Amino acid sequence: MMQLFISVLLFAGLAWLISWGMIGILFYPKKPILGWQAPLIGWAKNINLSHWMSEEKLDAQLDKVMPVIDEKLDDFFRNRLTEKLPMISMFIGDKTIQQLKSVFMEELRQMFPSLMHSFASNMQKDLLQQLEYQSLEKLKIAAFKATAPIRRLAIIIGIVWGIFAYWILNLF
């Protein structure tokens, strides 16, 4: 009787492992792309956000934020810098603050296009990673639900084969 239990358990376990292996091969590939996801991922790969940013558009956007940047720099030079470095407040006056702000603003104008292009490139990479990750998660959930009957059937077939194997071995 113990042999029957062991053979049934072994065959059922083996059938279950084989079914999970087949499910893994079919539904959990390394780079899953389902029919509805392929156009979306292809579209995201073809987007080049940095091409949408012409020099004129970037200059217009920078002009919109320059007053805010000017205000923040003014606050920095007048308040925060003197809080952090009290000695510097003795050497810095309104004229020096205005000169420093103009130098910083000019430097920002030169850096802004490359910063935005870098930002756009990173955003595109993040978008692709998110699409692939979400695709994989949805695929795993769908595969788990869809294969539940197959896994149950595999266990039942394993039990039947275990009983059959026990019967064959005891017959001879």
Which pLDDT belongs to residue 51?
Answer: 59
Q: What is the pTM of this model?
A: 0.44
pLDDT band at 20 (very low <50, low <70, confident <90, very high): confident
pLDDT tens sequence across 110-159: 888 888 878 877 877 787 777 666 666 676 677 778 778 887 888 888 88
pLDDT band at 66 (very low <50, low <70, confident <90, very high): confident
pLDDT tens sequence across 22-50: 777 665 555 554 554 555 555 556 666 55
CA distance 58 to 74: 23
